[in-house]
A = this chain, B = another copy of it.
Amino acid sequence: MRSDGVRSREAILRAAAGLATVEGITGLSLGRLAESVGMSKSGLFAHFGSKEELQLATIDTAQRIFADAVVTPAVAGGSGIDRLRGLADRFLAHVEDAVFPGGCFFASVAAEVDTRPGPVRDRAVEVVDGWTALLRQAVLDAQEEGTVDRAEDPDQLAFEVDAYLLLGNAQFVASGDPEALA
């Protein structure tokens, strides 16, 4: 039994997650991906039975990268308001630090596939829903702690925070960094 397969599979998927934010997840071709990772198209392809499976695996990998870079460290701070701040700060930081070269992976991919039905789209909106649920729960907890006005509609507040983050992401990738916003 050999064990270097999983290692190169991981390398492929990390490269794919980065490239997908630039070329798009459908625009990303096996040829370019293979070239960027330094192996043959067919050798790469053998790791996944189809392009769709590659796309799904890429989304999963991007989710793990995103979780490591923003969710996990932000959720460490226990209180609701700290988590909300942490999520927002970490999100902006991961955009500015170019964790993905083309900005937030899910903003890119969701915008690309949200009109094209299929497993890829379903997976993408699933992840996005998880993110907004995270935001919402942080707001809820903050309200329970009294650090956020209980009169606020939690869905509305989470929506607003999400909207700021997303537009901040979009404007940053479209220009420079004039995003001292929060």
Using CB atoms and an 8 Å cutoff, list the residues of chain A in contact with chain B: 21-24, 26-27, 101-103, 107-108, 110-112, 114-116, 125, 128, 156, 159-160, 162-164, 166-167, 170, 173-175, 181
Contacts and interface: CB of A to CB of B under 8 A. Distances in A.
A156 B174 contact: no
- Label chain A's interface by main secondary structure: helix
Number of copies: 2
Contacts of A24: 24, 26-27, 112
6 nearest A-B residue pairs (beta carbon): A163-B163, A163-B167, A111-B111, A102-B115, A22-B115, A114-B174
A116 B22 contact: yes
A112 B163 CA distance: 18
B116 A170 contact: no
